Chain A
Amino acid sequence: MTSGPSESGTLRLALLLALCLAVLALAIALATAIGDYSIGLGTVALAVTNGLGLTSAEISPIEQSVVWNLRLSRALVAALAGAGLSICGAILQALLRNALAEPFVLGVSAGASTGAVSVIVLGVGAGGLSLSLGAFAGAFSAFALVALLSNGATSGPNHTILAGVAASQLFNALTSYIVTTSGDAQQARDVMFWLLGSFGGVRWPDFQLLLVVVVISLAICIFMARALDAFTFGDEDAAALGIPVARIRLIMFAVTAILTATIVSMVGAIGFVGLVVPHAARYVIGPLHLRLIPACAVVGAIFMVCADIVSRVIVAQQTVPIGVVTALVGVPFFAIILYRARPQS
């Protein structure tokens, strides 16, 4: 054999990626068609081309508005959020060398909830925008605390994880304190609902912001993919392979923190996706990050769009929190992978 395995696998990988993108497009189309008010796929297509200004087909303004203003932006944000959380999970699992690492392991979701509660309950600022800003600020202060506690994330994986646990506990306690001392039942319910995640309020500006953040993060991660591979046998080994460990670690943690904080501030702390999708993708495509990261992005996007469809149709006239669905749909799927990937003794 003269060519590297990456050569022989390239065609297969490209086919797989094309297939996944086709599935993603189909999922987004379905997410746009399905709902309390069902719209045919043909009408959806026309509404989308209308929205893009490519056609000016005659369809009812209500259908045009539902497809373009509500459902399409929602489906696209779901796809980006799923992609982003999955990428973050893959990176943190590599850097922390821990199979249980996920986007919220560094306290970002706990910080976001404290920020959100400060806005909802304490009334810091006013209006929808400041809820997101509050969540973002909270998420980032949690990350800053973790970075501080772990000397800029250079003290080794376990130290960083423990710092994350400490930050999560602190911010969760702050959230509980604020809710129990000054919140009423309705406010507590709002917070709870927000924490479980919802795509309900998202619109086009959210999509544009998230698109920029996800694309930049994805590019940085792909650029650093080889460096992430070098962490397979730990920090010292990575250093011996010529990787500037401290710098890569800090850059990657910062990227995951910004990406996670942006997603959480828009749609809440949607669990499970960032933990499971990297494992599923790794099982199919192998551990090399140059393939794993794009795979995580598309698989995460498909998973989240499908979960969003389920959350809207599982109970009539009602939307189940997306975090509930990702866990309910994801756990059985994950169980199959765990079973099939169990160590052969």
Chain B
Amino acid sequence: MIVVAENLSWGVRNKTIVSEVSLSVAPGETLGLIGPNGSGKSSLLRLLAGLKRPMSGRVKIQDRDIAEVPRRVLSRQVAFVQQNAATDTNVSVLDVVRLGRTPHRSALSGWSADDQAAVTTALERVDMTDRKAQAWQTLSGGERQRVHIARALAQSPKILFLDEPTNHLDIHHQIEILRLVRDLDLTSVVALHDLNLAAMFCDRIVVLQEGRVSACGSPETVLTEPLLRDVFRVEAGVSASPFHSRPHIHFMAG
């Protein structure tokens, strides 16, 4: 297991957001994190990536408690893609991807061959090589998200955390991003809203409800009609898709 969370709890003031969450992620796996609004997906993702400190419990990445790993060392193993990270600065695509090398460079070191190789590969992986000189501000939403993923890949991480990377994208770009993430030779943990997309692209799914894990397993075992009613408060029929054989959810208009 490359990521192991043990009894993670976190909250603000008197409100508990994440409560006693334990889970583990296998190397190379794409794990989906789903749950209604306010169920603690984003917070859990940040706890796993070490961006928030748990109030109790711990996260182990490659068998080391991340609370004991320096920020910089951790960021060579773990990359995080926010939803809609924006800037007013006039940066180019290449500038943004090069930021991914930050944890590998000391304050005044030059640009190494390793740095260049990582950036070149990352740009190729998201198919933005030809656009590397383009200004960030002129990119569309889907392109920006691809550049953020390229920057995360330039960190040469073992594990990629993505917080609703398909938010505000059209269906073509949603599928494009998730296909990209699925096909990476990395372990990835993705918070998602769209249940059908989660079913299509994730190896396993963790369902959060009010900060607790209410189900965990393959899409077939997790995405059931009773669970959709209990957790998401929707009436739906679930059947194996005749096209890709993953579960497909048919929502009822009622």
CB proximity of B66 to chain A, nearest CB, Å: 13
Q: Which of A223, A236, A343 lies in contact with B108, CB distance below 8 A?
A: A223
Q: Which A residues between 55 and 72 are near B, CB-CB below 8 angstroms?
A: none
Q: Which B residues between 87 and 108 are near A, CB-CB below 8 angstroms?
A: 87-91, 94-96, 98-100, 102-103, 105, 107-108
Q: Which of the 9-residue segments A202-210, A237-245, A260-268, A332-340 touches chain B?
A: A237-245
CB proximity of A255 to chain B, nearest CB, Å: 15
Contact yes or no, A223 B107, CB < 8 A: yes
Q: Which of B71, B76, B91, B137 lies in contact with A243, CB distance below 8 A?
A: B71
Contact yes or no, A224 B88, CB < 8 A: no
Q: What string of 1s and 0s marks CB contacts (under 8 Å) between A110-135 and chain B?
A: 00000000000000000000000000
Chain A residues within an 8 Å CB radius of B110: 6-7
A239 to B148, CA, bound (A): 15
Q: Which of B82, B90, B105 lies in contact with A236, CB distance below 8 A?
A: B82
Assuming the contacts A287-B89, A287-B90, A288-B95, asked whether A242 and B137 have C-beta atoms less than 8 A apart, the reply is no
Task: Verify if B25 is at the interface (C-beta below 8 Å from A).
Answer: no
Contact yes or no, B111 A4, CB < 8 A: yes
Contact yes or no, B102 A242, CB < 8 A: yes
Q: What string of 1s and 0s marks CB contacts (under 8 Å) between A1-44 and chain B?
A: 01111110000000000000000000000000000000000000
Chain B residues within an 8 Å CB radius of A287: 89-91, 95
Tally the A-B contacts, defined by beta carbons under 8 Å.
88
Q: What string of 1s and 0s marks CB contacts (under 8 Å) between A214-235 and chain B?
A: 0000000011111101101110
Chain A residues within an 8 Å CB radius of B86: 233
Contact yes or no, B116 A3, CB < 8 A: yes
CB proximity of B188 to chain A, nearest CB, Å: 14
Chain A residues within an 8 Å CB radius of B91: 232, 287
Task: Verify if A97 is at the interface (C-beta below 8 Å from B).
Answer: yes
Q: Which of B78, B82, B116 lies in contact with A237, CB distance below 8 A?
A: B82
Chain A residues within an 8 Å CB radius of B155: 241
Nearest A-chain residue to B73, judged by Cβ: A242
Task: Verify if B51 is at the interface (C-beta below 8 Å from A).
Answer: yes
CB proximity of B101 to chain A, nearest CB, Å: 9
Chain A residues within an 8 Å CB radius of B87: 97, 232-234
Chain A residues within an 8 Å CB radius of B94: 5
Q: Which B residues between 114 and 140 are near A, CB-CB below 8 angstroms?
A: 115-116, 137
Chain A residues within an 8 Å CB radius of B236: none
Q: Which of B51, B73, B108, B115 lies in contact with A240, CB distance below 8 A?
A: B51
A194 to B243, CA, bound (A): 78
Task: Verify if A250 is at the interface (C-beta below 8 Å from B).
Answer: no
Task: Verify if A159 is at the interface (C-beta below 8 Å from B).
Answer: no
Nearest B-chain residue to A6, judged by Cβ: B111
Task: Verify if B252 is at the interface (C-beta below 8 Å from A).
Answer: no
Contact yes or no, A240 B111, CB < 8 A: no
Chain A residues within an 8 Å CB radius of B80: 236-237, 240
CB proximity of B41 to chain A, nearest CB, Å: 15
Contact yes or no, A243 B90, CB < 8 A: no
Task: Verify if B49 is at the interface (C-beta below 8 Å from A).
Answer: yes
Chain B residues within an 8 Å CB radius of A331: none
Q: Which A residues between 63 and 113 are near B, CB-CB below 8 angstroms?
A: 97, 99
Chain B residues within an 8 Å CB radius of A230: 99, 102
CB proximity of A221 to chain B, nearest CB, Å: 11
Chain B residues within an 8 Å CB radius of A243: 71-72, 102
Chain A residues within an 8 Å CB radius of B115: 4
A227 to B42, CA, bound (A): 25
Nearest B-chain residue to A288, judged by Cβ: B95
Task: Verify if B74 is at the interface (C-beta below 8 Å from A).
Answer: yes
Task: Verify if B75 is at the interface (C-beta below 8 Å from A).
Answer: yes
Chain B residues within an 8 Å CB radius of A288: 95
Assuming the contacts A99-B88, A287-B91, asked whether A241 and B111 have C-beta atoms less than 8 A apart, the reply is no
Assuming the contacts A230-B99, A232-B87, A287-B95, asked whether A2 and B82 have C-beta atoms less than 8 A apart, the reply is no
Q: Which A residues between 232 and 288 are near B, CB-CB below 8 angstroms?
A: 232-234, 236-237, 239-244, 282, 286-288
Known: A3-B111, A233-B87, A236-B46. 9 other contacts (CB 8 A): A223-B108, A226-B105, A232-B91, A232-B96, A241-B102, A241-B103, A242-B74, A242-B102, A243-B72
Closest A-B pairs by Cβ, 7 of them: A242-B75, A4-B111, A242-B103, A242-B72, A240-B80, A233-B85, A241-B102
A residues within 8 Å of B by Cβ?
A: 2-7, 97, 99, 222-227, 229-230, 232-234, 236-237, 239-244, 282, 286-288, 290, 341, 343
24 A-B pairs whose Cβ atoms sit less than 8 Å apart in the complex: A4-B116, A6-B111, A99-B88, A226-B102, A226-B105, A227-B102, A232-B91, A232-B95, A233-B86, A234-B82, A234-B87, A236-B51, A237-B82, A237-B85, A239-B71, A240-B49, A240-B75, A241-B100, A241-B155, A242-B71, A243-B102, A286-B90, A286-B95, A287-B91
